[in-house]
Amino acid sequence: MTRKKVTIVGAGMTGGAMAQRLIERDICDVILQDDPQFAGTMHFGKALDESQAASWEGFSSHISATDGWEETKDSDVVILTAGAPRKPGMSREELLNSNAAIVKAKVEQAAQASPNAVLVIFSNPMDAMCHVAIQASGFPRERVIGQGGALDSARYRYFVSEAVGVSPKDVHGYVIGGHTDTTMVPVVSQTLVGGIPLKSLLTSAKIDEVVSRTMRGGAEIGELMKVGSAFYAPSAGTIAMVESILLDQNRLMPCSVLHQGEYGINDVCSGTVVQLGEGGIQKVFEMSLDPSEQERVTAAAVATQDLLDQLTI
């Protein structure tokens, strides 16, 4: 039986971490694709280094690297991490047009090599880059999925677990809306800890602290690292999505998708809960929100539309 294949475009810190997490699951072959003009031979080095971990980590799948696209042909999933990362003090929006040009070129090539692939977009500003990817690929919304909510929700759940004093595994809450420091929406009204509403476990002031820290999650890490940005948690969220697609797990995860009426939003990519399985998005869910959350979700879509209006490609 032919193994599934996943191409990771961009072999920086995040792309490399994604490759490691994925290949060690032993569910597919992995290809690191990058441009030698920017990466040199780093992606080849990372692929070889991780290959040599196989005997101890116990995987038989193959990891390799390429400068081109022939080796990526007929990938089941293509993850786009290509583009400049955020630097400390930089907003995701500041990367708009430079990253849009990179994403457009990479997606066109990826779609030509793998016309049936699911695209997972990681490049920032992510919601706007999903639009670029949809236009460049011509793929339906079910096969162009933005990774942002998975990361933001992971941060939110961790901060909730710290505040309550429980395992993050027992926190069930989602962050939807936009993937920026100002437009993400932790859905407090629907957050449960072991089935117990969060609002009955923490004061409003403490919840506000958790929400504020969640929204600055990436910025806080950037400030601590001084150079570069987060890659451990982002890679974990992305590969959880990819695993659900490859193994047809039908998991419910918060992702950016082109809205078609959800929350009253049309033709804008924004975060909501989706069911991920074979072929990408199986179903799009609309969460029950309180009036404040609904207002912020609507504002997030407006902010993304404002970014789209600034695109020059």
- Give the domains, in start order, of the chain with CATH numbers: 4-146 (3.40.50.720), 149-310 (3.90.110.10)
Residues in the chain, how many?
A: 313
Q: Do 142 and 110 contact (CB within 8 A), yes or no? A: no
Q: Per DSSP, what are the bridge partners of residue 65?
A: 32
The dihedrals phi and psi of 11, each to the nearest 5 degrees, come to: -110, 35
Q: In whole angstroms, give the CA distance from residue 300 to residue 48.
A: 41
Please report the pLDDT score of residue 86 as a whole number: 59
Q: Do 138 and 189 contact (CB within 8 A), yes or no? A: no
Dihedral angle over CA of 113, 243, 231, 120, nearest 10: 40
Please report the pLDDT score of residue 98 as a whole number: 87
Please report the pLDDT score of residue 82 as a whole number: 84
Burial class, 95, CB count within 10 angstroms (exposed 0-12 / middle 13-18 / buried 19+)? buried
* The pTM of the whole model exceeds 0.85: yes
Q: For the stretch 185-224, what's the b/e string if a residue is b when 16 or more beta carbons lie within 10 angstroms of its beta carbon?
A: bbbbbbbebeeeebeebbeeeebeebbebbbebbbebbee
Q: In whole angstroms, give the CA distance from residue 183 to residue 123.
A: 17
Respond yes or no: is residue 179 known to be catalytic.
Answer: yes
Residues 242-281 pLDDT 10s: 999 999 999 999 999 999 999 999 999 999 999 999 999 9
Q: Which two tokens stand for residue 142?
A: 């079910």
Q: Do 241 and 282 contact (CB within 8 A), yes or no? A: no
Residue 73: strand, helix, or coil: coil
Contact residues for 147 (Cβ-Cβ < 8 A; gap 6+): 120, 121, 122, 126, 234, 237, 238, 241, 255, 256
Please report the pLDDT score of residue 1 as a whole number: 66
Q: Do 62 and 69 contact (CB within 8 A), yes or no? A: no
Question: Which residue numbers in the chain have pLDDT < 70?
Answer: 1, 85-93
Please report the pLDDT score of residue 91 as a whole number: 61
Please report the pLDDT score of residue 88 as a whole number: 66
Residue 61: strand, helix, or coil: coil
Please report the pLDDT score of residue 139 as a whole number: 98
Q: In whole angstroms, give the CA distance from residue 32 to residue 241.
A: 18
Contact residues for 158 (Cβ-Cβ < 8 A; gap 6+): 168
Please report the pLDDT score of residue 93 as a whole number: 64
C-beta neighbour count of 57 within 10 angstroms = 13
**Residue of 43, 131, 179, 259 marked catalytic:** 179
* Alpha helices in 24-177, H assignment, sequence order: 36-39, 42-51, 54-57, 96-113, 126-137, 149-164
Q: In whole angstroms, give the CA distance from residue 57 to residue 50.
A: 10
